Amino acid sequence: MNILTPISTFGRVTADLELKTSQNGNNTPYVSFSLAVDKGFGDKEHAIFLQCVLYDEKAERMVKAGVKKGSLIYIVGNLDITEYTRADQSKDHSPKVTLYDWCYAQQNQQTTTTNRKARTASLMCLLKLERMDFHLTNVEWV
């Protein structure tokens, strides 16, 4: 059973993007990157890192738009928790987000934290993503 876990958040791209092509025979363009998301407040503030992947025309659009290390973006996608094995053979988990869409988040130059900048994100960006039609397949609704 597939359970959809939607996520929408703001964060900063941690490295410059590189458009790649899948090797599964379909030659699907994609981009994979890490997004740093601020969590907590004050002396408890820290970053969590989401591994993100975006496919097809939207991946091409992201690269052409000049998203690079440090870019503040707003993402909408499906969250999965993946298990992996560390070098010492211990198991750990990592959050992975398959994106439906993204947009730049406008920044207020007078603020100092990403959380405050996120609150000043472009209203047009948010409205665009709220109006998006998600075409989901192979999802079992409980």
* 4-61 confidence digits (pLDDT tens): 789 999 999 999 999 999 988 789 999 999 999 999 989 999 999 999 999 999 999 9
Is 74:105 a contact under the CB 8 Å cutoff? Answer: yes
Q: Are the C-beta atoms of residues 32 and 40 closer than 8 Å to each other?
A: no
Mean pLDDT across 68-89: 93
Can you read off the two tokens belonging to residue 18?
Answer: 């590189």
Task: Enumerate helices (H) and strands (E) in the chain, giving the number of each.
Answer: 3, 6
Residue 133 has pLDDT above 50, yes or no: no
Share above pLDDT 90 across residues of the chain, in percent, rounded to a whole number: 62
Could you tell me if 2 and 138 are in contact, meaning their C-beta atoms sit under 8 angstroms apart? yes
Which pairing describes strands 46-55 and 91-104: parallel, antiparallel, or unpaired?
A: parallel
* Spatial separation of the C-alpha atoms in residues 7 and 37, rounded to whole Å: 12
Looking at residue 24, what is its pLDDT?
Answer: 81
